[in-house]
Amino acid sequence: MAARRLKQGLLDRLPGEVRSVWRTLADHGDTYLVGGALRDLLLGRPPRDYDLATALGPEQARLILGWPELALDGFGVLHSPRGNLEVVALRSEEGYRDRRHPDVVRFGASLEEDLLRRDFTANAVALDARGVLHDPAGGLGDLRRGCLRTVGPAQTRFREDLLRILRAYRLAGELGWRLDPELRQAARGLAANLPEVSPERTGEEIWRLIRAPRGYLPLRWAAEDGVLAVVLPSLTPTRPIAGPLARVVGWTRADAAAAAAQWRPLGWPRKERKLAEKALRLRDDIAATGERPRWREALAESGADAADILVLAGGSRRIAAFARMYGREGVLDRSRLPMRGAALAKAENLRGAEIAERERELLRQMWRRPDRL
């Protein structure tokens, strides 16, 4: 197994809890830092969470750490009570009839067996407690080259877990890497099976890819490889756009109702999703007519946040014209009326529904002639 020593400085960047748990487990059996945390440390990126793999059994590790029984889940993974740290036993796996989870898991595997069952070579590197890196799949070379490659044949890895297809494009966007040609070919061949993955897991990967600063090219690749056509057919990345919601709106080739129907099962954050839907409805209204009063009415309906997203998304001459109007006038809504509510009722002797109707009439006048403000 390829191995080399890691500089001590990287070890010092680990959180105190990770170092403490690692030392405790390493006193009883071989224990390694593995997965995305090690990859990110080697790239100089702050890890989101940490994974330790140990030669100890799951229950044995739990007892040594003194963690509660609830810390051990049904898959044999120990979750730190403090969060962002997981401990797993070295394992081998067999069979993936549901194309997502192994049929058989055997604990007590060697480090090499454990690493060679993983998804991508960059994630199949381990660091032992002495500071030695173990790299049986050539992940360190791929880290240097900035290339995402599967451990073993891409088609085999993707058939085991179809979510790995989406994870590949997402990681390419987050890391700014290119994708191995064999990986993309396998993704093209298996894309039609992606509906077997739960919409929530699909949605999480796509949302993270859309949010990734360098996600544009991987999204283009996903479109070229037929992946987006299966999981999110309304999305067509046509040009770089800044900001995740502006990207969603600018790249969506469907009206607001059709797009919302596709987004809803994906489990995207509700607040952001609703705001993107407002921006799409505003885009639909602008596309439907060139009449400025109707644009002002639609703008008052959608609000400034949705308008800001649409302006960032751009995409047509009408939206550019709308952006100029919006920049000059802002949102002409009820708050801009010179008199409203109780003051209006008192001045014009109005009651009940008459007040709201009079406000709507004044709004229509303002949308027709904003210069009268």
Residue 52: left (phi > 0), alpha (psi -120 to 50), or beta? beta
Average pLDDT over residues 216-235: 97
Average pLDDT over residues 137-159: 96
Q: Give the Cα separation of 101 and 77 in Å (integer).
A: 14
Write 311-315 long-range contacts (CB < 8 A, 24+): 312/241, 312/242, 312/243, 312/246, 312/250, 313/241, 313/246, 313/247, 313/249, 313/250, 313/279, 313/283, 314/241, 314/250, 315/250
Taken in order of first residue, the domains within the chain and their CATH numbers are: 1-145 (3.30.460.10), 151-232 (1.10.110.30), 234-319 (no CATH), 332-373 (no CATH)
Q: Is 85:75 a contact under the CB 8 Å cutoff? A: no
pLDDT tens digits, one per residue of 234-287? 999 999 999 999 999 999 999 999 999 999 999 999 999 999 999 999 999 999
pLDDT tens digits, one per residue of 39-64? 999 999 989 899 999 999 999 999 99
Task: Indicate the angle between helix axes 199-211 and 163-175, nearest 10 degrees.
Answer: 10
**pLDDT > 90 fraction of the chain, expressed in percent and rounded:** 75
The answer on pLDDT for 26 being more than 70 is yes
pLDDT tens digits, one per residue of 187-205? 999 999 999 999 999 999 9
pLDDT tens digits, one per residue of 84-126? 999 999 987 665 555 556 656 678 789 999 999 999 999 999 9
Q: Give the Cα separation of 109 and 105 in Å (integer).
A: 10
Report CA torsion sign: 142, 148, 154, 159. Answer: positive
Q: Give the Cα separation of 3 and 140 in Å (integer).
A: 10
Write the CB contacts of 142 (distance below 8 Å, at least 6 apart in sequence): 120, 121, 122, 148, 149
The answer on pLDDT for 145 being more than 60 is yes
What is the per-residue pLDDT for 371? 77
For residues 158 and 364, the model is more confident at 158
Q: Which one-letter DSSP state was computed for residue 150? A: B
Whose tokens are 């987004």? That residue is: 263
Average pLDDT over residues 9-27: 88
Verdict on whether the full-model pTM lies above 0.95: no
Q: Is 118:132 a contact under the CB 8 Å cutoff? A: no
